[in-house]
Amino acid sequence: MSLYDFLSSSSGLFLSFEIIPPLRGDDIKPVLRTIEELTQYKPPFIDVTSHAATDNSPRRRPGTLGICALLQHKYNTMAVPHVLCRGFTREETEDFLLELHYLGIDTVLALQGDGPERKVIPPGRSSNTYAVDLVQQIVHLNKSIFLSGQQQSTPTNFSIGVAGYPEKHHLAPDLDTDISYLKAKVDAGATYIVTQMFFDNQHYFSYVAKCRAAGINVPIIPGLKVITSRKQLESLPEKFALSLPQDLLNAARNSSPQDVSRIGVEWTVQQIKNLYQSGVPGVHLYVMLDPRPVHEVMKKL
């Protein structure tokens, strides 16, 4: 079952997660422990981030494909790998998609990728510039069209997710323009949207309303993250171009460092409850490799 099929047929509430591969050369055991702790909550899917190499260094976090294979076949949990434009040629992307297809993984999240293009494209190769280009490549593969033009006997059947930004992408001039880019990705073949993290649910509700008014009718899954340290009060807005509510900032700054995680958990729990009560069927939690906040959230839910 693809994620599109699940979202089309599910009638209950769900909580899904996103994790990150280990650093290059690190042991995979912490990742497996994280997966084992998360799968006890029976998430319908777990995203696995992807990380590109540069011309000056190898991939900092390899392992996306292997982790997805383990998720799918050892832990019986739908794996959703991230597929990037930046740092990968279209030929590398096609190989990666075919490897996923061989493994029975049929949902991907198509992203432009962070930062500037840092990889020189070799002669005779090509690259996707924007996520909409990547979506189009995946759709072509679903139609049995290789980059070489040859036809494969068994078409892929990828369900394609894309990212949405309730407070707009940092490169977009305004939210309306950003939503027009999102609609182009949906029109190209994306079947669902996962949002960037947000800490004020009104951003999400307003965003969904604007998307629907623009003719975007696919599911829009809200993405949340638990604040666990004072450092994140500065780093998250800077890295992801988002805002933090003043109430959350005041509570975290006026507490002891040990209490920040508790405050973050309580904030996320209230967000989730409000989203569920407002009719949102599911929430996506950005976990990385620390499942401890998830346990605290689940206790309170």
pLDDT of res. 151:
67
* pLDDT number for residue 277: 97
Confidence of residue 85 (pLDDT cuts 50, 70, 90): very high
Q: For residue 251, which phi and psi values (nearest 5 degrees)? A: -65, -45
Question: Is residue 46 within 8 Å of 11, Cβ to Cβ?
Answer: no
Q: For residue 261, give Cα distances in angstroms to 9, 194, 197, 234, 253.
A: 35, 24, 17, 15, 12
The whole-number pLDDT of residue 180 equals 98
For 98-109, how does the pLDDT look when each residue is reduced to its tens digit (9 = 90+)?
999 999 999 999
Is the pLDDT at 114 greater than 60? The verdict is yes
What are the pLDDT digits (tens) for 38-79? 999 999 999 999 988 776 778 889 999 999 999 999 999 999
**Distance (Å, rounded) from C-alpha 23 to C-alpha 28?**
9
Q: Is 283 exposed, middle or buried (0-12, 13-18, 19+ CB in 10 A)?
A: buried
- Tell me: pLDDT of 115 over 70: no
| The pLDDT of residue 55 | 67
CATH number for 3-300: choose from 3.40.50.720, 3.30.70.3270, 1.20.59.10, 3.20.20.220.
Answer: 3.20.20.220
The predicted pLDDT at position 117 comes to 52
User: Which pLDDT value is given to residue 118?
Assistant: 60
Instruction: Label residues 146-156 b or e (16+ Cβ within 10 Å = b).
Output: eeeeeeeeeeb
**Packing angle of the helix pair 231-240, 246-253 (nearest 10 deg):** 150
What tens digit of pLDDT does each residue of 235-273 get? Answer: 999 999 999 999 999 999 999 988 999 999 999 999 999
